[in-house]
Amino acid sequence: MLQTHAASRVARQAVFALVGTLFSTVAACTTPAARNVVAGTRGSSRTIIALPPTDHVDLMAREPMLAEALDRTLYVSGYGEDFPVLWRSTDGGARWARVNVGTAADGAVGNSDVDLAISADGTLYLIVMTYDRAKDEGRGIAVGSSRDGGASWRWTALSRDRFDDRPWIEVAPDGTAHAIWNDGKGVSHAVSMDRGLTWSERARVTPKGMSSHLAIGPAGAIAVRITPLSASANQFDSGMDSLAISTDGGVSWKLRGLPGTRAWSAYDERSPMLRWVEPIAWDSANALYSLWSEGTSLRLARSSDAGVSWTTVPVARGADTLYFPYLVARGNGELGMTWFSGLRTRVRANVAHLRFDERLADTLGAVPADLYEFASFQRANADSTDRDTMDAARERDTAGEYAAVLFLRDGRLATVTTIQDPVGKRYGFTFRPYRIQ
């Protein structure tokens, strides 16, 4: 039931921890740009030049999300505290200040997965999940909206159901805000047509599966990525690996198949999958893209007919494991992509830029990708004097299921990653911009 006012997930953290136990100890959060060879694709690439990053040290911001308003104000949110957090920058990311999003009495509740969206009229949306750490399960989804850049907020409890999980929010060209989430019984969908003042829940997108990602195209088509493992890994529905498309605002849905091969299984803490968010994105020409990992290969698919048919190309190949990708698109086939690569001593975050053009043959030799380290370590007891515990506190942690990436209105590409350093007592995020050559 929707109620309007004037977490971290243990199973998924186990995935991050498993990866983290294989990470090398690297103290610096910024290193010189490295170059990764990426497989030839249809299209052309441009070199991205790393610009000076900004570390904002404040509160915890795991799995941070990034958004930009029409006036070029930037916003970042993440999770890890017992309440929703949000930061704002009005100088292109050089300096950040915390935004007051309200109190629990106002309905501003949540301690886990977040997403941000900004409409063409400037309405800012922040959606947050509440996670019960004692019971290892989700307990609610709340969404806040602000019409004045974060000065005041309107909060709504979209759900307070057991196993609520992984919310996303996007705004359609007509101004309708769409929110999705899952609870082990399918993907829920709610809309607001009055800039977040009220919300109405519509029929579920699917009766099973996880809300892996959400994207809305320039013509208003809605795409929802459905995957098998939902409810914070408490529910597995074999065969739920598809794309749901709606062309009527979410009133009805059609399931589409996807190219590629993906391994899915029920959650096993001894061998968890490095696969959660399966990103999708529309470009301005109404083409839909999907990015996914096949172990040591990262693949990209493009559809010009809303998922009926696809053109697939490799994006990256190598000896390292590639996982947790993310994707944004703009213009006619211009893409920004991130992913993590490597285990043990080779773990890095990667960012790349590509212009997809089906008219060109596969003649491109390599797509430049910047590899970087970031100061995110496991959350072991940093005050312990036990050597094993101290060492664990310096082991790497991805601190999320993706590295958010965004095309900025000034022409730059930007990513944001977590600062999580218990030993150094530093928490927050790193804003890392790039110039596209």
pLDDT at 25: 24
Segment 8-34, tens digit of pLDDT: 344 455 444 434 333 222 223 333 333
Tell the burial category of 71 from Cβ atoms under 10 Å away from its Cβ (0-12, 13-18, 19+): exposed
Range 218-235 average pLDDT: 97
Q: CA-to-CA distance for 276 and 102, rounded, in angstroms?
A: 30
Q: CA-to-CA distance for 430 and 164, rounded, in angstroms?
A: 29
Kindly list the distances between the CA atom of residue 341 and the CA atoms of 42, 279, 344, in Å, as whole numbers in the listed order: 22, 16, 10
The angle at the Cα of 64, spanning 59 to 66, to the nearest 5 degrees, equals: 115
CB distance 416 to 62 below 8 Å: no
pLDDT at 14: 45
Element (H, E) at 16: helix 10-20
CB distance 340 to 376 below 8 Å: no
Segment 359-371, tens digit of pLDDT: 653 433 346 688 8
Range 128-151 average pLDDT: 97
What is the total count of domains within the chain? 1
- Domain span holding position 409: 3-436
pLDDT at 394: 63
DSSP line for 257-291: ---S--------TTS--S-----EEE-TTS-EEEE
Task: Tell me the CATH number at 144.
Answer: 2.120.10.80
Return phi, psi of residue 104, to 5°. Answer: -60, -35
- The pLDDT-based confidence of 40 (bands split at 50, 70, 90) is very low
